[in-house]
Amino acid sequence: MSYRPIPDILRAMETSTLESGTIPPPLSLRFYLWFVIAITVFELCRVATMGSLSFTIPFTGWMIAFPYMFSIFFVFAALRGSKFGPAIKSVRSFLVFAIILGVLEFAFSYGREDFDNPYLRVSLWRPVFTVMIPCLWLIVLNSKAVSTYCSGEPV
């Protein structure tokens, strides 16, 4: 198996098919890749500017990009070619884990004393970022197009 740099993989996604696949990657998988990259860059910028953390943590939680950063490798693996079901299963696993953590974290921390510490505040909007958005991506990644592509079956 030959390894190609990321720009070649992205170029192959846009044109037709990858070397090992017979069908092009679904649009939803490509959108997920771009979302993962964008949210990871946002998280790295947010951590680099420590002043913004005290403003954003009540809404987004401590690590908004946690499930997405870890799934970057698996999304690239799934986009390299079809018949890579384990990669997409790993991405789904990260999202399920993030949803469970988001629900538990909100359940145990909402309404508790924050001692006027901005890092301990929890907004009512936090489940949007920690539960609803991962749920949305989980639904999208469970679509028939993604499942068919990753199983390698012809359309």
Taking only the tens place, the pLDDT of each residue in 71-100 is 888 888 777 765 677 888 888 999 999 999
3-state class (DSSP) for residue 104: helix
pLDDT at 5: 62
Count other C-beta atoms under 10 Å from residue 50's C-beta. 8
pLDDT(134) > 70: yes
pLDDT score for 15: 47
Q: Are 150 and 85 in contact (CB under 8 A)?
A: yes
Q: Which helix or strand (DSSP H or E) is residue 76 part of? A: helix 66-80
Kindly state the average pLDDT of the residues 45-60: 86
Average pLDDT of span 48-60? 86
